[in-house]
Amino acid sequence: MIRIYKYGEVANSEIFARAVAEVDVTAIVSDIIENVRKNGDRALLEYSEKFDKVRLSGIEVSAQEIDEAFSSVDAEFVRVMKKAAENIYAFHSRQVRNSFLIEGEDGIVMGQRITPIDRVGLYVPGGTAAYPSSVLMNSIPAKIAGCGMIVMVTPPGKDGKVNPNILAAAKIAGVDRIFKVGGAQAVAALAYGTETVPEVDKIVGPGNAFVAEAKKQVFGKVAIDMIAGPSEILVVADKTCDADVIAADLLSQAEHDKLASAVLVTDSEQLALDVQAALERQIPMLSRAEIARTSIDKNGKIIVADSLERVIEIANEIAPEHLELCVDNPFDYLGKIRHAGSVFMGKYCPEALGDYFAGPNHTLPTGGTARFSSPLSVDDFVKKSQYTYYTKEALGKVAQDVALFATREGLTAHAASAVARQKK
């Protein structure tokens, strides 16, 4: 059963604390990456047989397989995915940045160019964690950014096929190439390339401990989006809220993972007790009841604070991945929220709306990293280049200033370079 605490009984920094039995996979992942670097496709096929229990004749998903999968998905779900894709596209289109140019005195020209990343790799988990929503959320911003190629990797099932919902989402999102490979070996293939899998410039997408470690190890060779931890939600609710609704929102994250954290902070002791009871009624009815039960019992918390203002302080200190403001006047508090991955406003905006349909991205910073990082966006798929142009006259006016600065730093070659043209 979820525990109820008075404010102050649990340190704010411990509200999302988890008992995690860490397994060091560093050496295993390092060996996998090296094997893929040396042996390419052969290593990938061997790992598919070892880890996925399937012997593949080829790695790449064919156009025929994609079309067959798309046809097998029921039309109503295709309609919903297309509508979700439209919403995601509409939201992320507003994030597009423009290049700029500044023209100064004496013919000086400076500017910044925004250019898309050439090739992006998208990791999509398989098995019970096959989420077509993640395909849409990761691919559509990359398409809007103008990336030249989006390469998706995802583990096959024991039948050698990829989940049809995943392939349907990839078709809707415009993914260019898809490969039947998962785990650390998939990340290695994207980072270094094989005979079949093209080398990419950035890897995005969630995965297990092996995938996360592989992303850490290839960072520098390629860029990565983030290392996301277990899901977390902080629900802020006042006494007017429906306990059954709040319990359902908490469970929407608890069912993700036994390590997920679902926390309610309220100014009402009665609501705390009612939500505690509602959780006990709802958990047995879930398809993932065992996972939700473990998450709620080990990591879930209800905290009773003396005011909603105090609740906002808690939210800002722990910087939650998901923050629900289940109050009648959410916009009164929005301006006070400094640290949160995504904020869900009011009593009719469940976090699940953001996971699938509304449009804002569901790939969010976890573990307090919302203090300094942001949701996945179009910005993650572009890069900025600067340029500078000076005329002879413009350089002549500042060359001695540049040389003085360089000399103070002890870099005399810099100083000489600044004035060399004037000496000519």
Condensed to tens digits (0 to 9), the pLDDT of residues 54-74 reads 999 999 999 999 999 999 999
pTM strictly above 0.85? yes
Nearest to 260 by CA among 28, 19, 41: 19
Question: Who contacts 102 (Cβ-Cβ below 8 Å, separation ≥6)?
Answer: 109, 110, 111
Overall average pLDDT of the 216-230 stretch: 94
Structure tokens at 206: 């969630």
Instruction: Please state, in angstroms and rounded to a whole number, the distance separating the CA atoms of residues 183 and 48.
Output: 9
Predicted pLDDT at 28: 96
Does residue 376 contact residue 361 with C-beta atoms inside 8 Å?
Answer: yes
For the annotated catalytic residues, the residue numbers are 321-322
Answer whether residue 230 shows pLDDT above 60: yes
pLDDT at 188: 98
At residue 309, the pLDDT reads 84
Give the rounded distance of the alpha carbon of 298 from its chain centre. Answer: 25
pLDDT-derived band at 327 (thresholds 50, 70, 90) equals very high
- Residues of the chain with pLDDT > 90, as a percent, come to 87
A 10 A CB-CB count for 99 gives 12
| Residue 128 pLDDT | 60
pLDDT tens-digit series, residues 73-93:
999 999 999 999 999 999 999
The predicted pLDDT at position 38 comes to 97
Cα(40)–Cα(186) distance, rounded to whole angstroms?
Answer: 11
Q: What was the pLDDT predicted at 21?
A: 56
pLDDT at 20: 61
In contact, 196 and 41? CB cutoff 8 Å? yes
Decide: 54 and 208 in contact? Cβ < 8 Å.
Answer: no
> What pLDDT, on the 0 to 100 scale, is given for residue 422?
83
Question: Which residues, 6 or more positions from 109, have their beta carbon under 8 angstroms from its beta carbon?
Answer: 101, 102, 103, 387, 388, 389
Could you read off the pLDDT of 350-386 as tens digits, one per residue?
Answer: 999 999 999 999 999 999 999 999 999 999 999 999 9
Residues contacting 33, CB < 8 A, separation 6+:
184, 187, 188, 191, 192, 214, 217, 218
Does 423 score more than 80 pLDDT?
A: no
Using the predicted structure, report yes or no on whether residue 409 has a pLDDT greater than 70: yes
Give the mean pLDDT of the chain.
94
- The Cα–Cα gap between 31 and 369 comes to 29
Instruction: Tell me: pLDDT of 14 over 90.
Output: no
pLDDT-derived band of residue 147, with 50, 70 and 90 as boundaries? very high
